Amino acid sequence: MSTEKEVSYTITNSYSTLNKLTSKTKNIWFVCHGLGFLSRYFIQYFNELNPEENYIIAPQAQAKQYLSGQFKHVGASWLTKEKTQENIPNVLNYLDSVYQAENIPSAPNLIILGFSQGVSVATRWIAQRNIKCDTLVLYAGKVPREFSEDDFKHIQSIKFIIGNKDEYVTSGVLENEKEYSDELFKKRIEYITFNGTHEMKRDLINGLV
């Protein structure tokens, strides 16, 4: 009979940044990619922002895998349905380490963005660590059904972005998501719909600042 056991150990993981953090920086972005991305590619969606005023930090999901049977392209995943609750602390501890390593100052505007699967990561981090940010961007993803209004009362501006042809967030799913978001965020949430599918749009990112 097999027995499943656990061990604790230290791992090293990368993350990506774009531009430089200086006295001229007005906005610091903490952006969590979606399923199948690598941070060094995801961060390029923010390369049209003013480089003097915007500093972008893109954490990297730890679990890497090939994206096709050709074993050429590699992507990453934050969490799966396998031992989700047990693995959440690993993800949050990693985000804590990135946040601490960057020594983020309090003066600039802090924007936390999650795209697709990154929405669940960003919201859990904010809720469980009481992270204070000026704007939370929920981009084409679902908020986990484990929160209460009190978890986000310290966030004053929330933006929900979704494409009108998103293949993963259909009309029925979207209605349910909006109902839940209204309960959590009340009138602090703004819904933004664009003409497109499950995709990042640079013009929308540029318009957030």
pLDDT at 122 over 90: yes
Q: Which of 25, 31, 92 shows the shortest CA–CA distance to 56?
A: 31
Most confident of 7-16, 37-46, 76-85: 37-46
**For the whole model, what pTM was predicted?**
0.94
* pLDDT score of 203: 95
Q: How far apart are CA 205 and CA 133, in angstroms?
A: 17
Strand order of the β-sheet with 135-139 is: 15-18, 54-59, 27-32, 109-115, 135-139, 158-163, 189-194
* pLDDT score of 118: 97
pLDDT at 107 over 80: no
Hey, what CATH topology would domain 15-206 get?
Rossmann fold (3.40.50)
Whole-angstrom CA distances from 62 to 79, 95, 145, 209 are 9, 11, 23, 29
* pLDDT score of 81: 87
What are the residues facing 110 on neighbouring strands?
A: 28
Q: How far apart are CA 42 and CA 117, in angstroms?
A: 13
At residue 72, what is the residue type?
Answer: K
Domain ranges of the chain: 15-206
* pLDDT score of 27: 96
Per-residue pLDDT of 136-189, as tens digits, reads: 999 999 999 999 999 999 999 999 999 999 998 887 889 999 999 999 998 899
Q: How far apart are CA 26 and CA 28, in angstroms?
A: 7
CB 11 within 8 A of CB 64: no
Per-position DSSP letters for 121-182, written without gaps between them: HHHHHHHHHT---SEEEEES----TT--GGGGTT---EEEEEETT-SSS-HHHHHHHHHHHH
Interval 10-39 mean pLDDT = 95
* pLDDT score of 80: 85
